[in-house]
């Protein structure tokens, strides 16, 4: 079935060339490394958070969807809010030990 998504054809008005193939400038999505190959760093941060502490997980290599799934799992198991963007997961509160424990149970071995 042909994809007819207008967002993919944005800024292309019309082409008379029957062989025209519009090329998007999308970067290929990064492939997610296996859990035992991930180098994750877990630390507590207080900067730029209005004085509130947050547990930050950095070093995840993979797609945004996988990052968001991992963040969702950590947030639900810790029972707190948080966010996942730009390759890092932010968990509200000072939960470093609990996050490390949850990551180890989930199969991540390289955690600092």
List the domain range (segments joined by +) for residue 39: 35-111
Predicted TM-score (pTM) above 0.85: no
Low-confidence ranges of the chain (pLDDT < 50): 1
Confidence at residue 111, expressed as pLDDT on a 0 to 100 scale: 80
59 within a domain of the structure (yes/no):
yes
54 within a domain of the structure (yes/no):
yes
27 within a domain of the structure (yes/no):
no
CATH code: domain of residue 56: 3.30.780.10
Confidence at residue 11, expressed as pLDDT on a 0 to 100 scale: 66
In total, how many domains does the chain have?
1
86 within a domain of the structure (yes/no):
yes
Measured CA to CA in angstroms, residue 31 lies from 17, 24, 39, 63 at distances of: 35, 19, 15, 6
28 within a domain of the structure (yes/no):
no
Confidence at residue 12, expressed as pLDDT on a 0 to 100 scale: 62
Confidence at residue 71, expressed as pLDDT on a 0 to 100 scale: 93
Say how far apart CA 62 and CA 83 lie, in whole Å.
Answer: 16
């Amino acid at each position: 079935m042909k994809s007819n998504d207008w967002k993919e054809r944005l800024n292309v008005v019309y082409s008379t060339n029957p062989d025209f193939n519009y090329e998007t400038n999308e970067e290929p999505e990064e492939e997610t490394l296996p859990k035992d190959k991930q180098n994750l760093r877990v630390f507590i941060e207080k900067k730029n958070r209005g004085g509130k502490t947050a547990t930050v997980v950095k070093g995840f290599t993979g797609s945004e969807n996988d990052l968001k799934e991992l963040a969702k799992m950590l947030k639900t198991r810790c029972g707190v809010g948080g966010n996942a963007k730009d390759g890092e997961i932010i968990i509200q509160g000072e939960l470093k030990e609990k996050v490390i424990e949850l990551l180890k149970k989930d199969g991540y071995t390289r955690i600092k």
